[in-house]
Amino acid sequence: MTRIDRAIGLARSLATYHGIPFRQRRLRRLYRSFVNAGDLAFDIGAHAGNRVRALTALGCRVVEGTIMGGPCVRVDNEFLALVDFKGSGLVVKLPRHRVDDLVARGIGQPFAPAGRVFKEWVSIPARDRSLWRALLVEGIEFVSS
């Protein structure tokens, strides 16, 4: 794929997700039926940011962003998690003692992009929906404190 092809694809995506009249109004009306101001909402894999924009307009606490070039989730502007960063599964920010415990028990692995260990981050490569959900809840409490 050439740079021109990528630019055309990006322009088409932006036009599709941001160029449709009243789309944001419709998204806000939809999301308002199940989220309230202050709620935590995730848009993992946000493509063009239009859903994050709608959720933020409703007062939700998540802002989609990037970390090390990949999509991530933030809570109140604090990094919380990223998924499948170079095959790492879920990477979540937790208290250091909790990261040490998960690594010692063989559940998690140290998160060390470029060889530098991030002491408050753990990689959970095994896809386990209930474990991931529990760790995300712990992470939300940690980054919100």
**Class of the CATH domain delimited by 61-145:** alpha beta
Q: What does pTM read for this prediction?
A: 0.60
> Residues of 81-111 as b/e, b for ≥16 C-beta within 10 angstroms?
bbbebeebbbbbbbeeebbeebbeeeebbeb
List the beta bridge partners of residue 122: 92, 110
Predicted confidence at residue 107, as pLDDT, reads 95
Which pLDDT score is estimated for 41?
A: 74
Contact indicator for 62, 42 with CB cutoff of 8 Å? yes
Count of CB atoms situated within 10 Å of the CB of 79 = 19
| pLDDT given for residue 49 in this prediction | 60
Dihedrals φ, ψ of 87, to 5°? 80, 20
Q: Where do the domains of the chain lie? A: 1-60, 61-145
Starting at the earlier edge strand, list the strands of the sheet with 70-75.
62-67, 70-75, 78-83, 90-93, 121-124, 109-110
Angle in degrees, CA 58, 83, 106, rounded to 5: 130
pLDDT along the chain (145 residues), means of 10: 64 60 82 84 61 78 65 78 75 95 96 89 88 89 87
